[in-house]
Structure 1
Amino acid sequence: MALFDYRSEKFTHDRFTGAAVENCTFLDCDFSGSDLTETRFIDCQFYDHESQIGCNFSHATLKDASFRTCDLTMNNLRNINALGIEIRECRAQGADFRGASFMNRISSRSWFCSAYIIKNNLSYTNFSKVILEKCELWENRWNGANVLGATFCGSDLSGGEFSSFDWQTANFTQCDLTNSALGELDVRSTNLEGAKLDADQVSELMGRLGIIVVN
């Protein structure tokens, strides 16, 4: 399915289930509640630059779905079921992921998460209270993102960019932060237990405390 333009459409539950959708434009469209399991979106536009309005995916099922080189700017992704989702090389500035679930719950005390959110512009996105444990989240721009109450424990956040970012508001224990621009990270107020840092990062962070690291 390719080269279609949709504007202000409300899609039926199974309109795109499992489909491969390429080079399509969706302007102010409503995917809310849709089953997009294993659907692949490639080079698609979900943002209207004139009206500055994104699309609505709230409560959609996006298990094992894929977005590659798409524009998800300002999209509503609240309360999606997104276990195994892939978002790769996309623009997603200002997208809202509050309530999104990347989790497979086995029991009340046992679960695992799965997501591949890689090489995206996530500036000013809202991941408040989202759980993304042990996920592939590398080489993203997180500038100004809201991560209040979020959990990234054990995830790969390497190669990221974190300016205007509040490290104190989320859980980054056990994370791989190597090769990342860490912005204003203060090791005195952020729990980095088990986190991976490279030598240059350690030297920079210690330098802010007046400690000189000698190689």
Structure 2
Amino acid sequence: MIIGEKIKNIDFNKTQIGEEYEDCIFSNCDFSGMVLNNTNFEDCIFDSCNLSLTKIETSLRDVHFKECKMTGTNFTKLKSFSSLSFEKCNLEYATFMRAKLRNTKFTDTTLIEVDFSETDLTMSLLKNCDLSRALFSNTNLEKADLSTSYNFVIDPNNNKIKKAIFSKEGLIGLVLSFGIRILD
């Protein structure tokens, strides 16, 4: 177990990764294209790291991603997590299909074409996120806050949105699936 380390500028494609990290900060590290399946992270921060096309099949507990490139990252086999947050990350084309992400925080994060199919986002915060072409199908958004996010289309008949929070402008994204024309 590695505890309390500041790990900088490491390409983990060329270096063996440990099995457990606790209270560590990863800065400018490269995990791109890796399969993280035997490594657990607890109370860790990933700052300006590249996790593009990474498959995350491990446990994340109290993990914060800040300004990370995570294009195409696959979270579908995320084993378990608690308190997961993304701040100013690029998660374009990432997939969270069937992931249980209750209380997750996405802040100022690009979520273009992200797959949230069958994802549990109950009580999650999506603050100022671009959700262009993001896929919501059988997604649980109950009590989620999307009031400052934009460019989403969510079919209320195909998703759970009870007590979710949307802005007036965001309501357009809830009625587009009904084929309603909205004029200025």
Name the counterpart of 2:69. Answer: 91
Name the counterpart of 1:40. Answer: 25
Question: 2:60 matched to 1:82?
Answer: yes
| Count of residue pairs the alignment pairs up | 182
Question: 2:48 matched to 1:69?
Answer: yes
Give the alignment's Cα RMSD to 1 decimal.
2.4
Question: 2:120 matched to 1:144?
Answer: no
* C-alpha deviation, 1:56, in angstroms: 3.1
Q: Give secondary structure in 2 for the equivalent of 1:27.
A: coil
Distance in structure 2 (CA, Å) of the matches to 1:94 and 1:205: 26
Distance in structure 1 (CA, Å) of the matches to 2:55 and 2:26: 16
Distance in structure 1 (CA, Å) of the matches to 2:92 and 2:121: 17
Name the counterpart of 2:9. Answer: 23
The verdict on how the C-alpha distance between 1:149 and 1:210 changes in structure 2, with shifts beyond 3 A counting, is same
Structure exhibiting the larger radius of gyration computed from Cα positions: 1
Distance in structure 1 (CA, Å) of the matches to 2:157 and 2:182: 13
Distance in structure 2 (CA, Å) of the matches to 1:171 and 1:116: 18
Structure 1, unaligned runs of 5 or more? 1-13, 48-53, 104-112
* C-alpha deviation, 1:162, in angstroms: 1.4
Higher strand share: 2
Contact 1:96/1:125, CA 8 A, preserved across alignment: yes
Name the counterpart of 2:36. Answer: 57
Identity %: 19
Paired residue type of 2:10 = C
Contact 1:63/1:84, CA 8 A, preserved across alignment: yes
User: Given the two structures, how large is their TM-score scaled by the length of structure 1?
Assistant: 0.74
Distance in structure 1 (CA, Å) of the matches to 2:116 and 2:16: 26
Within 5 A, what are the aligned runs for 1:126-141? 126-141=95-110
* C-alpha deviation, 1:183, in angstroms: 2.8
Contact 1:174/1:196, CA 8 A, preserved across alignment: yes
Q: Give secondary structure in 2 for the equivalent of 1:26.
A: coil
Distance in structure 1 (CA, Å) of the matches to 2:94 and 2:169: 28
Q: Give secondary structure in 1 for the equivalent of 2:64.
A: strand
Contact 2:98/2:119, CA 8 A, preserved across alignment: yes
* C-alpha deviation, 1:171, in angstroms: 1.0
Structure 2, unaligned runs of 5 or more? none
Moved over 4 A (4+): 203-208, 210-213
Q: Give secondary structure in 2 for the equivalent of 1:201.
A: helix
Q: Which of residues 202, 205, 209 is equivalent to 2:180?
A: 209
